[in-house]
Amino acid sequence: MAVRQRERAIDIFKGLLVLGMVYCHTLQFFSDPMIFPQGQKWIEFINLITFSGFVFSFGYVCQLAYYNKAFSEVWHRMLATAFKTLLAFYISGTAFRLFIDQRPLEWKTIRPILLLNDMPGWSEFLASFTYLIVLGLLLFVPLKWLVGRKWTGFTAAGLLLLTTWIPYGSIHEPIWAPLFGTRDFASFPVVQYFPYYLLGMLFARYRIGFDWRILAGSALASGAFVWRWLSNPETSLPERFPPSVWWILGPALVLYGYYLLSRLMEKYPLPFVPLEAMGRNVLWFLVMSNVLIFALKNNQPLLLAGLLDALWMELGLLAVIGYGIWIITKPARRATSNHDTKI
């Protein structure tokens, strides 16, 4: 039976997001906005597009891997994916508390993280991905129904924007923050970002490429964000934690541009092999880059980097992580090289 090969374009798309996210984290930990003011603009831009982009790509790959199959065939794989992302949160969150907050390695430090009662900085998005896959599993049947009706699915994605009016101020338990949001600390609530998950499913299901209607809709969404931003007397960005409707709308046009660009880059494979590799191993790169950045900040607290220095630091981190992944997976590649495998 013929099996669909892996889609390289969505891996490149994810690779672009990884590249941006690690650069953003490097700037946040090693750049001072008072000394390098341009760095803050890059941080804000990358923050706007990254989590929404990952949610979109997650919906896209889940449609290909899970939703075009029977629930009985894939539920255990979805749970395994959720467990991997939860483990990633545990590793990154613990590293943050140990290296950045300099807390002792003891049960008192680790237990709240394990119980999701503590959401350490720069790690909470990983907890959100766990919630996202679990929510996608619980809504497996209605999501398949929605995506099977193209314009109903797009309408549902639009209606989900209403969730940005959830009364965030009434949510105080950390365990609920990755699902609904809170005003108590930074969080990435999957309910409010879920329109991008649904859109990712729709793009994968209907093989959407360039479409002037999508272009117009994404331009209108991002235009609303810009209008809201510029109409603010303080010229501050729309609220991110918790996300306002303007923040959710904001990255639409850029992400659609990323998506189209990745489809173009797919036609010229050789120059973009590193991006594709990062896209195939997103969780590894996000977790290990966090751990390395936290450890380096702990060891070199006074280290400062401008835009170019931060870029070189990021490329060095990514190279180390990529080499580590290559070493770890080398035996598996050797073992499968002499056997027929299905992709």
pLDDT at residue 35 tops 50: yes
Higher pLDDT, 303 or 328: 303
Q: What is the pLDDT of residue 334?
A: 60
Structural domain boundaries of the chain?
8-336
In sign, the C-alpha dihedral spanning 99, 103, 106, 108 is negative
Confidence of residue 7 (pLDDT cuts 50, 70, 90): confident
- The percent of residues in the chain predicted with pLDDT above 70, rounded, is 94
Confidence of residue 342 (pLDDT cuts 50, 70, 90): very low
Confidence of residue 310 (pLDDT cuts 50, 70, 90): very high
Query: Do 126 and 100 form a contact (C-beta atoms < 8 A)?
Result: no
Q: Tell me, letter by letter, the H, E, C secondary structure of 135-146.
A: HHHHCHHHHHHH
Peptide bond into 242 cis (omega under 30): yes
Query: Once rounded to an integer, what is the mean pLDDT over residues 226-244?
Result: 90
Query: Once rounded to an integer, what is the mean pLDDT over residues 117-132?
Result: 97
For the chain, give percent helix, strand, coil, nearest 5. 75, 0, 25
Half-sphere exposure in the Cβ direction for 50 (13 Å, CA): 24
Reported pTM: 0.94
| Average pLDDT of the chain to the nearest whole number | 93
Half-sphere exposure in the Cβ direction for 201 (13 Å, CA): 29
Distances (CA, A) of 282 to 42, 125, 183, 288, 289: 21, 13, 28, 10, 11
Query: Once rounded to an integer, what is the mean pLDDT over residues 99-116?
Result: 97
For residue 217, with 0-12 CB atoms within 10 Å meaning exposed, 13-18 middle and 19 or more buried, which class applies? middle
Phi, psi dihedral angles at 69 (to 5 degrees) = -125, 170
* pLDDT tens, position by position, 50-76: 999 999 999 999 999 999 999 999 999
Query: Once rounded to an integer, what is the mean pLDDT over residues 36-49?
Result: 95
* pLDDT tens, position by position, 175-184: 999 999 999 9
